[in-house]
Structure 1
Amino acid sequence: MFTNEEVRQFTETEHHLYRYIRDNRDKVMFMRVRELSEATHVSPASIVRFTRKVGCEGFSEFKVKLKQEAVKKEKAQTIDTVEVLEEFFERTMNRGYDEILDEAVDMINEADLVVFFGIGTSGILAEYGSRFFSNMKQRTFFIKDPFYPNAGQQFKNAVMIILSVSGETDQVLEQAHNMLDYGSKIISITNTTHNTLAGLSDVNISYYVTQEMVDRTNITTQIPVLFILEAMAKKNYDREHND
């Protein structure tokens, strides 16, 4: 209900009020303004100004929004992972993944080094991808630090495999630009093809599963990413072994 930008602009009194409301939501949604004033030692006028600052007409509308948010949280349910995966594999079998993976493997074969990059959960998967490819006798390196200095300059004739659900994270795009500036290739694995990172990439592999959020945290399943990484690593190994 409160945005980071709003919280940053709170005065000391408003921060005190915000903390009380955050810790006592169930009580506040049934309080009168004078009751909240007595509980927080903040004047009714200041409370009304606070509610207007966060986009409400007054305290009554503020309480309605608190109640609506509580109902929304009670109803929230995560998506069945099995259904999501069935949807993914059905699409996979019909979208020519083999051809896309062949393009990626061609690029990997021509590179001296494969660099995996991701942030957060994608960073963990980047590390996994690097290890799995290493197990398949491929020279790799992984980066999960969003502020890693100028990777493009350090890794010549490399291909960077970038993992990003949205394909819009600033630090991810910055690393992609760094690699491209120094002549390296980009393979991206994203949830859709309609994003900035996909547009920058030489090859984009998208998995199209339903995006899922819990309290502003992206919990979209990453099992398709594991499937793509392992399929690509095995195809790459088979290609080199047969050659």
Structure 2
Amino acid sequence: MKPRNIIRAIENGRHELRKSERKVADFVLAKAEDVIHMRIVDLAQESQVSEPTVVRFCRAIGCDGFQAFKLALAQHVAHSPRYQQYRFTEQDSAHEYTFKVFDATMETLKRVRDNIDVGAIEKAVEALRSANRVEFYGFGASGAVASDAQHKFFRLQISSSAYSDPHIQAMSAMSLRRGDVVVAISQS
């Protein structure tokens, strides 16, 4: 079975790979665009492992073999350009730093999209949809996010509150009943 996002599968499963398979993983993560043009013998040589190790690596990350791995990698590279981390310099124009900020934001959003647990989202939506009362808890900078969420729910005419003080949050939590929902927000 081919993973949905091959790079994410490699990153997430890297710690479970054998030492020799990690060499292949590290090379692929560093040079994904080069790997799609390589033969198995080339990847083995560049990773300093044997060809059977490359095949074991492919199977360990959920691909049926080397060709299936290359296909998944090529699809990823074609549809998911990797944006560079941005650094501002004094020489940057407004045009350059605008693109740097947008590229970094798009990469972050893409990473979240690729890693999101849709089943958990569906459960959360159902809990919120059927809630008697929704309370948002956030502390520090997360308090502003909790207030914003409460404002959005209020506009949808859903009974909601937001608390940023931990003592008030504790008192509020003691008054919750069956069917009430707490959304705890932490940006850190």
Q: TM-score, normalised by structure 1?
A: 0.38
Greater Rg by CA: 1
Which one has a larger percent strand, Structure 1 or Structure 2?
A: 1
Q: TM-score, normalised by structure 2?
A: 0.47
Which one has a larger percent helix, Structure 1 or Structure 2?
A: 2
